[in-house]
Amino acid sequence: MLSRSAGGLALFLLIQSPLSAEPLVPDTPIGVSDIEVVCTGTSLDAREDPRWNAYSLKIEFAGSGGHYLGGESVTLRRGDAVLFSGSCNGPWLLFRLPPGRYAVEANLDGQTVNSRAIVSAAGQARLVLRFAEAV
């Protein structure tokens, strides 16, 4: 049987885990390890939300024709460390990260796209990951 404090610790560890099996809740920032992440962009109101300007990395997911996609699984790494691994049902995934170089891997419908992002101390880095059209 778990004591109250042990149960609280288990919940804290679940929330803070860099690996998530459940998709992120849209438009709801969460803390993961030492970073903050939010899945958004499903509506015009969400895309125009001024809160998202404060995030240092914005990843956009699109088809080859440029239209937004959702449902991707994403892994963000810095060096060998996995900072985030989870899924987003929206077309934007935003991170509040310290300056540095990051590797991004996204999977959607059996397709994998890899890229790198450089986050500076000021401004927002933007990364657009394009997936081929499903056949």
Q: 53: helix, coil or strand?
A: helix
Structural domains for the chain? 4-131 (2.60.40.10)
pTM for the full model? Answer: 0.82
* pLDDT tens sequence across 50-59: 999 999 999 9
Q: Mean of the per-residue pLDDT values for the chain? A: 86
Structural element, H or E, at residue 6 = helix 4-16
* pLDDT tens sequence across 17-67: 455 557 899 999 999 888 999 999 999 999 999 999 999 999 999 999 999
